Amino acid sequence: MKKFFSTFFAPIIALLLVLFFSCTYSINEGEQVIITEFGKPVGLPINSDPQKNEAGLHFKKPFIQTVNRIEKRVLEWDGPASDMPTRDKLYITVDNFARWRIADPQKYFESLRDERSAQSRLDDAIGGATRSVIAQHDLIEVVRSDKARKSVPSEEIQSELGQIGVLPTIRYGRHALDKEILAAAKPKAKLWGIELIDVRFKRINYKAGVIQKIYDRMESERRQIASRYISEGDGEAAKIQGRMERDLLQIKSEAYRKEQEIRGKADAKATQIYADAYNSSPLAADFYQFIKTLDTYTKTLKSDTTAIFTTNSELFHLLKDLKTPASEPVPTP
Q: What are the boundaries of each domain within the chain?
A: 20-70, 75-206, 209-295
pLDDT in tens, 121-160: 999 999 999 999 999 998 888 888 776 655 445 455 555 5
Q: What is the H or E stretch that residue 31 is in?
A: strand 31-37
pLDDT at 45 (0 to 100): 85
pLDDT value of residue 159: 52
pLDDT of residue 333 exceeding 50, the answer is no
Q: Is the pLDDT of residue 1 over 60?
A: no
pLDDT digits (tens, 9 = 90+) for 60-95: 888 888 888 888 899 999 988 888 988 888 888 999
pLDDT at 318: 64
**By percentage, how much of the chain surpasses pLDDT 70?**
81
Give kind and range of the element (H or E) at residue 169: none
Instruction: Please give the pLDDT value at position 327.
Output: 47
Query: Residue 179 has what pLDDT?
Result: 93
Q: How far is CA 123 from the centre of its chain?
A: 34
Q: Are 212 and 132 in contact (CB under 8 A)?
A: no
Residue 101's nearest CA partner among 135, 73, 79 is: 73
The confidence band for 291, taking pLDDT boundaries of 50, 70 and 90, is confident
CA 78, 83, 89, 90 torsion-angle sign: positive
Report the percentage of the chain scoring pLDDT > 90.
Answer: 29
Per DSSP, the three-state class of 78 is: strand
Residue with more model confidence, 328 or 167: 167
Mean pLDDT over each residue of the chain, to the nearest integer: 81
Q: Over range 253-261, report the average pLDDT.
A: 92
Cβ proximity of 55 and 82 under 8 Å: no
Cα 51 from chain centroid?
52
Architecture, CATH, for domain 75-206? 2-Layer Sandwich (3.30)
Residue 270 pLDDT class (50, 70, 90 cuts): confident
